[in-house]
Amino acid sequence: MIEKSAIKLEEMTPSDWPSVRAIYEEGIRTGIATFQTEAPSWKEWDQGHLQCCRFIAKAGDQILGWVALSPVSSRCCYKGIGELSIYIHPDSKGFGIGTLLLQKLIDESEKQGFWTLQSAIIKENAVSRALHKKCGFREIGFREKVAQMPDGTWHDTILIERRSRVVGK
């Protein structure tokens, strides 16, 4: 059992990558967390994510989960919108780690000037949808058969967003 008081949220560093990657690979194996089929290298991951708003949850030396933002566009008019990724180690689910990480991301993203956080969640990922709803996200759309997995399975995605109550008013 993980005690909430033992959980620390920290900025992600390059040295965290092996554990972050392992958690991401666990998500890939579920078949409903991402359309990726393998984790990228640190360099590829680092280039695809914003330098701000990258956090890990730790208990002692063990990384329990992570959250990060990616840009949605290179156009400057969209600089306040970030696409989020959040992954929790399978052994760490059910202890509130996702909520802690997502709330940290929301708070920090608003300090960084983000007015919208968004994501596309595979429809069957009910746990992720519930987590986001709990943290103030709303479902805004649906994309049917948006991507096909290597085994031929098609998935729909639910588009979600959270608009800041303090930025962009």
Q: What is the domain partition of the chain in residue ranges?
A: 4-163
Res. 168: pLDDT tops 80: no
E strand residue ranges, 5-101: 7-11, 55-59, 62-71, 81-88
Per residue in 109-129, pLDDT tens? 999 999 999 999 999 999 999
Q: Percent of the chain, pLDDT > 70? A: 99
CA distance 132 to 129: 5
Where is 160: in which H helix or E strand? strand 154-163
The pTM is what? Answer: 0.93
CATH homologous superfamily, domain 4-163: Gcn5-related N-acetyltransferase (GNAT) (3.40.630.30)
Per residue in 15-64, pLDDT tens? 999 999 999 999 999 988 999 999 999 999 999 999 999 999 999 999 99
